[in-house]
Amino acid sequence: MIEYTIRLMSLKAEPDAIGRSTMEALHMLKNRLARLRAGRIDPRSDEILQRLLARIRASHTLDDLILDGFPGLGELSDERALQYWEGKVHRVSRHVLREDDLAPDSLVLAQAVLSSGGGDMPWDDNSSQKLVGQSFRILAVQLPFVLLEPASRAFSNGEPVSLDVRRLTLIRCSPEFFDAQRGIPRSHPPADGLAGRAELPF
């Protein structure tokens, strides 16, 4: 069995080192946001702000933004920006499955993958990005891991995969989508009810 774990980097550093890292990140974000509010920096051309924007996008669904709105990058507090930076803001949507929603034999679809840490964006991690849009059947649950059977035989060579659901956003998947991704043809009766009758060219 191939095991994929999407997780944060292991924090083996000393507590003081972790604290220093957090303070350095906060100082960096404060500096960038202060320059943004003063109109002295373009977020589209600044790498740090682009990373922050990517992490904000990875932390919300479209439902979140429509229902709750977003104040704008310039209105974001330094502390909230740090939460986004460290991946501590999680999606809240009625479509997203919670841990207690996961049950064997259910069909699920990978909607998004959170950054695995280390400063890379989710779409920079090829192994993580391959999960997005893939549908699975749940085989077993042992939180925080879930054992999944991929619909696509090309994914993981058809072997079950074990995923850390803390790093993964799952939504319900329809049987039609699962079967289509698996390559199972679904029969559709002709609209006029005349099966097997071809149109003649004259």
Dihedral angle computed from the Cα positions of residues 188, 191, 196 and 202, in that order, rounded to the nearest 10 degrees? -140
Q: Which of 76-80, 111-115, 165-169 shows the highest mean pLDDT?
A: 76-80
Residue 4 located in a structural domain: no
Query: Is the Cβ–Cβ distance between 55 and 133 less than 8 Å?
Result: no
State the total domains in the chain.
Answer: 2
Asked if residue 113 and residue 60 are part of one domain, the reply reads no
pTM here? Answer: 0.47
- Give per-residue pLDDT as tens, 183-199: 876 665 545 544 444 44
Sheet containing 2-3, strands listed edge to edge, beginning at the edge strand earlier in sequence: 2-3, 161-164, 145-150, 135-142, 107-113, 168-172
Q: Which DSSP category does 77 fall into?
A: -
Q: What is the pLDDT of residue 129?
A: 63
Residue 80 located in a structural domain: yes
Distance CA 83, CA 144 (A): 22
Asked if residue 167 and residue 111 are part of one domain, the reply reads yes
- Give per-residue pLDDT as tens, 42-66: 988 898 998 888 778 767 766 667 7
**Quick one: average pLDDT of 8-34?**
71
- Give per-residue pLDDT as tens, 154-194: 888 879 999 888 778 888 999 999 999 998 766 655 455 44
Kindly state the percentage of the chain with pLDDT values over 70: 68
**Helix and strand numbers, DSSP H then E, in the chain:** 6, 6
Dihedral angle computed from the Cα positions of residues 19, 22, 23 and 25, in that order, rounded to the nearest 10 degrees? 160
Give residue 106's domain range. Answer: 99-182
